[in-house]
Amino acid sequence: GAGVSQSPSNKVTEKGKDVELRCDPISGHTALYWYRQRLGQGLEFLIYFQGNSAPDKSGLPSDRFSAERTGESVSTLTIQRTQQEDSAVYLCASSPDRESYGYTFGSGTRLTVV
């Protein structure tokens, strides 16, 4: 598509439930990133995918967080047993390759855990 698409745009869930967030990168972009942004704060790196290489999961805050990507297409970020501190905007970005800093971000998924 023309840009990075994320769904849902908003998600309200009860504490303890699992949620799945989806990211459709720009076609042909081999690199895909997930970031988390808490209210009024900067972006926090979560995970990075590059082609068929093993993902860099070093930013995932706990083992409740996981992400998958099929080839160079869609990625899903899953948060299990959500907690209130997971409330944030989850942003996905893609770029043509790992050395390209012209990232294109999606509009994010606003997650609210109640």
Please list every residue from 42 through 71 that binds other proteins, using CB under 8 A.
Answer: 42-43, 45, 48, 50, 56, 59
As a whole number of angstroms, the distance between CA 114 and CA 83 comes to 8
Question: Count residues contacting other proteins (CB under 8 A)?
Answer: 27
Nearer to other proteins, 19 or 91 (CB): 91
Nearer to other proteins, 14 or 102 (CB): 102
Most distant pair of Cα atoms in the chain: their distance: 39
Both tokens of 80, joined, read 């299990």
In single-letter form, the type of residue at position 60 comes to: L
The one among 21, 24, 30, 31 contacting other proteins by CB under 8 A: 31
As a whole number of angstroms, the distance between CA 40 and CA 49 comes to 26
Beta-strand ranges (E) seen in 10-87 are 10-13, 19-24, 31-37, 43-50, 65-69, 75-79
CB of 52 to other proteins, least distance (A): 16
Please list every residue from 67 through 106 that binds other proteins, using CB under 8 A.
Answer: 91-93, 98-99, 101-106
DSSP one-letter code for 93: E
34 binds other proteins (CB under 8 A): no
The site for other proteins (CB under 8 A) is made up of 4, 31, 33, 35, 40-43, 45, 48, 50, 56, 59, 91-93, 98-99, 101-108, 110
